Chain A
Amino acid sequence: MGSKEICRNELRIAVRQLSDRCLYSASKWAAEQLVGIELDPVKFTPSNTRFQRGSSSIHRRFRNNEITSTPIAGVSYVSTPVMEEDDIVDGDFYLLAKSYFDCREYRRAAHVLRDQSGKKAVFLQCYALYLAGEKRKDEENIELEGPLGKSDAVNKELVSLERELSMLRKNGSIDPFGLYLYGLVLKEKGNEHLARNLLVESVNSYPWNWSAWSELQSLCTTIDILHSLPLNNHWMKDFFLAGAYQELRMHNESLAKYEYLQGTFSFSNYIQAQIAKVQYSLREFEQVEVIFEELLRNDPYRVEDMDMYSNVLYAKECFSALSYLAHRVFMTDKYRPESCCIIGNYYSLKGQHEKSVMYFRRALKLNKNCLSAWTLMGHEYIEMNNTPAAVDAYRRAVDINPCEFRAWYGLGQAYEMMGMPFYALHYFRKSVFLQPSDSRLWIAMAKCYENDQLHMLEEAIKCYRKAANSNDREAIALHQLAKLHRKLGRLEEAAFYYKKDLERMEAEERDGPNMVEALLFLATHCKDQKRFEEAEVYCTRLLDYTGPEKETAKSLLRGMRIAQSGFPSMSAEHFPP
């Protein structure tokens, strides 16, 4: 990695250049990373200390990883020369246009710049036109149809923009920002291939524009495409790759990249949030919670990604924490899809599903492509037993992003509820394909197979085995495996899994009917196998429990003693298990 100082300098210039061109989200991102760079102790100044405050346990933990998880150490980075501005002093018209732009008067801004020829002015004009078209498109979406349906409004400026930008490109008078915009326009028009090339060209000549990277990322739908991109080896590429890996569900690779990046940008909120996202996908909820707590401490008014935090709180059933979070985001900005999702989650946890649906609908009104809102709304409908509505909601989520395994899972669940286990299998298969490491999905699929109507026990066993191999937290799989094997009369296998289950329960210090069942089976099984000593151990353990099992254990013990003392034939008839 380039030294921190280089990054810092590059970013400083980039922030200015980006905001000069009104690429605000990119400039915001760059600025965030800028302050996320760890300070050299030498230049430590008191004014910067507030960003040091959060160097808590996770930071230290991640720093430890730094050395081990440096995958591309030694790769020399291409240093891209910082772009020189063509005119140091902005023209008066440019200043006016930028002010208009800042006031969100896009058409006015474009109009002011109509005769300007500087690269910056031309870009801003095009960009303003583009945004004006986008704004109009959004409005039309609402005018033409209900906000929740699909709609076919299009940005009317795309055609003229494409013409203009392609002309500029032919002239060779296009700058990286123009290329970015051109790529954006083409992507919207559906010409993904060319869009990808243009975006690559843009990021290669000006790597600090995060918006261009993220557009590029959304165009990399397969790993092959990702690897075929001719990208320069700039340090920004690592950010890009990390994000792309995450999208492609290569969580561990992504995590490694982020941790590596954290070596330089150790205080970057962005990286922390992304790590949290990856951990969330890996279902490491504890860690996610820690990270988010930390994030909120440093950045209390953050709304981005907070819906994921709320998911974690939901999963852990932290009522008060969730309500606190909901309140906080509500006060910060209630009209954000994230805020609505958080509130929806809260109501869902409270069991008030109608209200929860209302908030998810609001989230969708704000952004109808909000994936998690569709999925969560589907969950709510499932809770409300309105399966057709749930199916519809899930299906929309899946159509927005076919990799949304939760929605596939939800679809399967909905159909299973309707008594169509075979039909549901299709969906479970999809979800399992996308997320093979999630034991819950395997268990759901196994349940489906085990269903009375299908009764495909062999397949169910296969699924449970997969689940048991992939970190099954609730330890359902082992128990079910044992039970199924017993049902199928394969006692040896059953004993094996009961034993495993028992060990696990002992390790986790859990107790309950499963324990009794396992002990009872093992006791009888060992006795039948004439392994009396073992059987005695289990029986004595059973004696600790109350209920009929205790009596059975006693009679078993008695039977064994009699058998050992020379009346083997008696035991079978007198003491049936």
Chain B
Amino acid sequence: MAGILKVPGAFDVTPHKVSLCILLQVYASPNQLFVPFPFSSFAQHNRLGLFLLALTKSCDDILEPKLHELINQSREIGSSSIDWLADHLISRLSSLSSPDDLFNLFTEMRGVLAGQDAGIVEDDQIILDPNSNLGIFLRRCILAFNLLSFEGVCHLLTNIASYCKEVLSSRAPHEAHLDGSGVNLMEASEYENMDLENLVFEKVTEEIEAKKKAGERIPFHLHVPTPIFGLVEDIELSAKPTFKQSTKGKEAISYAMTLDGSSGAVDHGFFLRSNWQIQGYLLEQTDAIEKHGSSFPLNALEFMLGQLQKLAPELHRVHFLRYLNSLYHDDYASALENLHKYFDYSAGIEGFDGIPPSSGFNNSGRYEIALLCSGMLHFHFGHPKQAVEALTEAVRVSQQHSNDTCLAYTLAAICNLLSEIGISNASGLLGSSYSPVANMGTSLSIHQQLFVLLKESLKRAESLKLKRLVASNHLAMAKFHLMHVQRPVLSFGPKASMKLITSPINVCKELRLSSNLISDFDIESSMMITDGSLSTTWLKNLHRQRGSSVIFEETEPGNRSNASSFFSQPNSIPGSVSQLVGASYLLRATAWEMYGSAPLARMNALVYATCFADCASSVDAAVAYGKLIQYLAAYKGYKAAFAALKTVEEKFISVSKSQIMVLKLQLLHERALHRGHSKLAQQICDELAVLSSPVTGVDMDLKAEASFRHARTLLAAKQFSEAAAVAHALFCMCYKFNLRVQDASTLLLLAEIHKKSGNAVLGIPYALASLSFCESFNLDLLKASATLTLAELWLSLGSIHAKRALTLIHSALPMILGHGGLELRARAHIAEAKCHLSDASFSVPETSGVVLDSLRQACDELQILEYHELAAEAFYLMAITFDKMGQLEEREQAASSFQKHIMALEKVTDEEDPLLK
């Protein structure tokens, strides 16, 4: 039905193996004397033996070396007799002109083996023990040859002809006499016309060069050629353990050519080695795609996959890779198509275990995984409704087939989905068809449902011992605790305590639990096998297969270098695990950022960037770098931030464009606001808004951010009523989509707007509301900032409230000075100074030190930020203070600084910003 899948590791006779046999014959020819003819010493003879041993070990590669490569390799034996060997090999091969010659060759081979009944064995006779490695190899070859049908023999013959035609044509002038190669030569010239190999190769090099030009350095060393080079490095394992280094580059290129050129319709087929090897290659590609996301070269991989599909049409995993590839390049149609194709062909079974599809018909396939994947696909493309449908169906089907593993993963996926889409989206989704939560009754809010689901999924994962899933569930739990107000789930009524507060302790606990994963993996690395169900983890399964074969080989003596090159990663912790652990650090950074501890947030981001960058997906890495840069901007000013941004941009050339892009726009916007370029700020703001997806309910963070900045821009342009309107709309949206943190900051912004518009009485309630929000969500820094705003509001109500304002400021100061950014600190300082100045009981000479100190600090900080407006204010206050103190010179100085800032603010020079390009 589904074609005949070649048994993995099927042993066919290939031209390469025939040449090995010929060499073996030379090595152990039965009728030779003590040291066989071409060799001058034992050492040489032994070296040939070792060489052959290495070659036989590596005969299960994807690619077999071509004849000239084999000859080149054999030169490394470094004997004078090599030329003779090569000539002998070529002449033997090219003399095979009829099937009968092949038959004779293999009959001769039998003579090389010493049979049990060989009788007396002379002492100095060289005999190949039939049970030695070489002997077994030879016997396998003979057996495989004997199994061939006549057609098979004919194929072998044509393959041999094309195998040696290249060498022959290069040697043509002086070796033409060797055999009747006239015909071969003619054919060879005909093949030379096909420039396909070169063409492809040229294309690849061109692309490499183009990339190089585009970005000086190639940071990840992972651009176009990687699929090929990665493949090659994987293959190279073998054959030449001792003399690999010298020729590495060259070899790599020629391999790459042969694989690409195999589309050339001539001699492919006999380069296809074992399935496991190709699957190993696919495994690496999958990892690479997931890691690098959209920066992964779409077409290069697509091309390789096309080639592979031609070579191995029954290898359906290629479709899966295509799916992944187009998924990460946001090609919806093709992703959907390939996903369905993969599961239609393989029934989701291929890759789980070695069962060939023909025997797989008895069970009903793993279509629940198809559903899971299609759910994720819809989620990825922002179709929450479809995603929920698919995942619900996945739950049902996996319950039907009692596939608990898949069920656990599906539940986790649903949790993820629920926590990502906003509440207003979800409420319409969860109709009666929503079985996982249907039994919980409708009285529960989405959050409570999500919480219950998370718990359930966590329990299930724990009982199934899916370590990675447990860890990621813990992470999800932490995220939940971070973002949501904890409410008792199942106790209702007036008596239930309704304390609304997020629980940082739980967050911390969950994060720690998720990090336990890494120690688990140290202890028992075999547990990963059970994870076989998630879309990509079938590949892990394969990893295990390969791994076990490595262990097996290692028990055999003398070939360690081979074995170690099997490992692409020498450490025992798989990439996905360290990715998860890394994610926990990233989440920690985010948590601290929200709770308001800048140093801790920065530290965690740094840990992530330094320790997990190599296994992180490029998106995550970009987030971490973004956090660090934002930190720089807030604490060190824009110069430092932009310098850092530049390096990061280079690092992620085209990678996760939007992440870095958003960051850059944010910084630019911030700076434009500070400098007073409101037109520019508005422009940037619009650009930011364009980046988000037009679909409602998707990219909510970005949308909220854009509209928040819009309001701020309007505020800076003194269009208060518009600003208030925008902020109000934003608040409604955030409330609707359950973005609580944004709610708090929006309230604060509203307070700010009212403060600036001189309507302090209106502002106070907003500030208070924001304060209470911050308290319940443990947003300490934001709370400090809200307190500051409240103080400013009080202050603007008149000098009688100066005392109250001052107490407020003092209460917030520790937090602000410890964790606040430059702007916040400066504002606090100015506010404090203002309080002192407006206080009736204030006497200049006594307290001027305090005032001047804080004002000076504020000035320094604001100058770093180039925040002209506030800086002008600070200098103004300073000038007044100096005036009161009678220090005229300093007063003049301050006044001129004030003038400078005001001027800068007024002449909004449209100096072309190089970064905006």
User: Which of B2, B311, B431: most chain A CB closer than 10 A?
Assistant: B2
Rounded to whole Å, the gap between the CB of B131 and the closest CB of chain A is 33
Asked if residues B155 and A143 are in contact (CB atoms below 8 Å), the reply is: yes
Most chain B CB atoms below 10 A, which of A156, A163, A420: A420
A145 and B4 within 8 A (CB): yes
A159 touches B345 (CB 8 A): no
Judge whether B341 is part of the interface by a CB distance below 8 angstroms.
yes
Kindly list chain B residues whose C-beta atoms are within 8 Å of the C-beta of A159: 190-191, 193-194, 265
Q: Flag whether B578 is at the interface (Cβ < 8 A).
A: no
Interface 1/0 per residue, A26-41 and B, CB below 8 Å: 0000000000000000
Are A423 and B390 neighbours in the complex by a CB distance under 8 Å?
Answer: yes
Which of B336-369 touch A at CB < 8 Å? Answer: 336, 340-341, 344-345, 347, 357, 360-361, 364-365, 367
Q: Which residues of A contact B4 (CB under 8 A)?
A: 145-146, 149
Q: Is the CB of A420 within 8 A of B393?
A: yes
A354 smallest CB distance to B (angstroms) = 14
CB-CB under 8 A from A152, the residues of chain B are 268-269, 310-311, 313
The reply to whether A391 and B396 contact each other, CB–CB distance below 8 Å, is: no
Q: How far is the CA of A166 from the CA of B438 in the complex (A)?
A: 70
Distance of A49 Cα from B138 Cα, bound (Å): 75
- Residue B883, interface by CB 8 Å: no
Q: Cβ of B336 and Cβ of A426 under 8 Å apart?
A: yes
The interface-forming segment of A206-214, A308-316, A382-390, A557-565 is A382-390
Which segment, of A411-419, A532-540, A566-574, faces chain B? A411-419
| A146, B265: Cα distance in complex, Å | 20
| Residues 397-454 of B contacting A (Cβ, < 8 Å) | 397, 400, 431-433
Most buried by B among A143, A392, A411: A392
| B268 pairs with A392, CB closer than 8 A | no
Q: Is B553's CB within 8 Å of the partner chain A?
A: no
CB nearest to B312 among chain A residues: A152
User: Mask for B250-294, Cβ within 8 A of A = 1, else 0?
Assistant: 000000000000000100110000000000000000000000000
In Å, the complex CA distance between A149 and B5 comes to 9
Interface size class of B (residues with CB under 8 A): 35 or more
B121 lies within 8 A of chain A by Cβ: no
Contacts of B357 in A (CB 8 A): 392
Which residue of B is nearest A387, CB measured?
B364
A140 vs B726: C-alpha distance when bound (angstroms): 72
Decide: A146 and B397 in contact? CB cutoff 8 A: no
- Check B3 for interface membership: any CB of A closer than 8 A: yes
Residues of A contacting B397 in the complex (Cβ-Cβ under 8 angstroms)? 418-420
Are the C-beta atoms of A388 and B347 separated by less than 8 Å? yes
Give every chain B residue within 8 A of A145 (Cβ-Cβ): 3-4
Is A423 a contact of B314 with CB atoms below 8 Å? no
Contact of B269 among A144, A389, A391, A393 (CB under 8 A): A144
B151 CB-CB contact with A under 8 Å: yes
CB-contacts of A366-398 with B (<8 A): 386-389, 391-395
**Contact for A422 among B313, B360, B361, B371, CB less than 8 A:** B371
A358 close to chain B: CB less than 8 A: no
Q: Most chain-B Cβ atoms within 10 A of its Cβ — which of A160, A399, A418, A422?
A: A422
Please give, as numbers and ranges, the residues of chain B lying within 8 Å of A332 by CB-CB distance. Answer: none
Bound-state CA distance A146–B433 (Å) is 45
Q: Which residue of A lies closest to B433 (CB)?
A: A455
Q: Which residue of B lies closest to A142 (CB)?
A: B151
* Minimum distance in angstroms from B210 CB to a CB of chain A: 26
CB distance from A5 to the nearest CB of B (A): 48
Alpha-carbon separation in the docked complex, A411 to B193 (Å): 45
Q: List A contacts of B193 (CB < 8 A).
A: 159, 163
- B393-A392 in contact (CB<8A): no
B394 to chain A, nearest CB (A): 9
Contacts of B149 in A (CB 8 A): 143
* A282: interface (CB < 8 Å): no
Name the distance in Å between A452's Cβ and chain B's nearest Cβ. 8
Closest to A395 in B: B344
B152 proximity list for chain A (CB < 8 A) = 143
Complex CA distance for A485 and B347, rounded to whole angstroms: 38
- Say yes or no for B374: interface residue by CB 8 A criterion: yes
A148 at the interface (CB under 8 A from B): yes
- Chain B contacts of A143 at CB under 8 A? 149, 151-152, 155
- B residues 373-398 in Cβ contact with A at 8 Å: 374, 386, 389-390, 392-393, 396-397
**Number of A-B residue pairs with CB-CB distance less than 8 Å in the complex they form:** 102
Instruction: Encode contact with B along A158-189: 1 for CB under 8 Å, 0 otherwise.
Output: 11100100000000000000000000000000
Q: For chain B, residues 2 to 20, give those with C-beta under 8 angstroms from any C-beta of chain A.
A: 2-4
Q: How large is the interface on A (under 10, 10 to 19, 20 to 34, 35 or more residues)?
A: 35 or more
Write out, one digit per residue, whether chain B residues 133-171 have a CB within 8 A of any chain A CB (1) or not (0): 000000000000000010110010000000000000000
B370 contacts the other chain (CB 8 A):
yes
The answer to whether A388 and B361 touch across the interface, beta carbons within 8 angstroms, is yes
Question: A149 near B367 (CB under 8 angstroms)?
Answer: no
B residues near A393, Cβ cutoff 8 Å: 1
Nearest to B3 among chain A residues (CB) is A149
Contact check, B265 vs A154: say whether CB atoms are below 8 A apart: yes
A418 to B368 alpha-carbon distance, docked (Å): 10
Partner pick for A421 among B311, B345, B365, B393, CB 8 A cutoff: B393
Q: Does the CB pair B155–A392 fall under 8 Å?
A: no
Give chain B residues whose Cβ lies under 8 Å from the Cβ of A144.
Answer: 155, 269
**Quick check: B3 and A423 within 8 Å, CB to CB?**
no
Taking CB atoms, residues of chain A closer than 8 Å to B340 are: 426-427
Give the shortest distance, in Å, between A132 (CB) and chain B (any CB). Answer: 15
Report the bound CA distance from A453 to B435 in whole Å: 9
Query: Are B393 and A148 in contact, CB atoms less than 8 angstroms apart?
Result: no
Q: Across the two chains, which residue of chain B brings its CB closest to A399?
A: B341
Cα distance, A421 to B392, chains bound together (Å) = 11
How far in angstroms is the closest Cβ of chain A from B733? 27
Q: For residue B393, which residue of chain A has the nearest CB?
A: A422
Contact of A150 among B151, B314, B370 (CB under 8 A): B314
A418 to B389, Cβ gap below 8 A?
no
Tell whether A454 is near chain B: CB-to-CB under 8 Å: yes
Check A388 against B151 for contact (C-beta < 8 Å): no
Q: Are A149 and B2 in contact (CB under 8 A)?
A: yes
Q: B273 to nearest A CB, angstroms?
A: 16
**A148 to B360 alpha-carbon distance, docked (Å):** 17
Are B365 and A388 within 8 A (Cβ)? yes
Which listed residue, A150, A156, A158, A422, touches B389 by the CB 8 Å rule? A422
Could you give, for residues 43-56 of chain B, a 1 whenever the CB lies within 8 Å of some chain A CB and a 0 otherwise? 00000000000000
Known interface pairs A163-B193, A391-B344, A395-B344; A454-B313 also in contact (CB < 8 Å):
no
CB-defined contacts of B392 to chain A, threshold 8 Å: 422, 453
Knowing A145-B3, A386-B361, A388-B361, the reply to whether A151 touches B347 (Cβ < 8 A) is no
Question: Shortest distance in angstroms between A546's beta carbon and chain B's nearest beta carbon?
Answer: 38
Q: A156: which B residues are within 8 A, CB to CB?
A: 265
**B310 contacts which chain A residues (CB < 8 A)?**
152
Taking CB atoms, residues of chain B closer than 8 Å to A423 are 367, 370-371, 374, 390, 393
- Rounded to whole Å, the gap between the CB of B34 and the closest CB of chain A is 46
B190 touches A160 (CB 8 A): yes
Which residues of A in the span 276-305 have a Cβ within 8 Å of any Cβ on B?
Answer: none
Q: Distance (Å) between the CB of A418 and the closest chain B CB?
A: 6
Contacts of B431 in A (CB 8 A): 455
Question: Which residue in chain B gives the minimum CB-CB distance to A155?
Answer: B265
Q: Which residues of A contact B341 (CB under 8 A)?
A: 395, 399
Docked complex Cα distance between A140 and B159 (Å): 13
Bound together, the chains give a CA A388 to CA B344 distance in angstroms of 8
- 6 more A-B residue pairs beyond the given contacts A149-B2, A392-B344, A399-B341, with a C-beta to C-beta distance below 8 A: A148-B1, A389-B361, A395-B344, A422-B393, A426-B374, A455-B432
Question: What are 10 of the A-B contact pairs (CB < 8 Å)?
Answer: A144-B155, A150-B3, A159-B190, A388-B360, A392-B2, A392-B344, A418-B397, A422-B389, A423-B371, A426-B374
* B residues adjacent to A (C-beta < 8 A): 1-4, 149, 151-152, 155, 190-191, 193-194, 265, 268-269, 310-311, 313-314, 336, 340-341, 344-345, 347, 357, 360-361, 364-365, 367, 370-371, 374, 386, 389-390, 392-393, 396-397, 400, 431-433
8 shortest interchain CB distances as A-B pairs: A149-B3, A150-B313, A395-B344, A146-B4, A143-B151, A422-B389, A422-B393, A154-B265
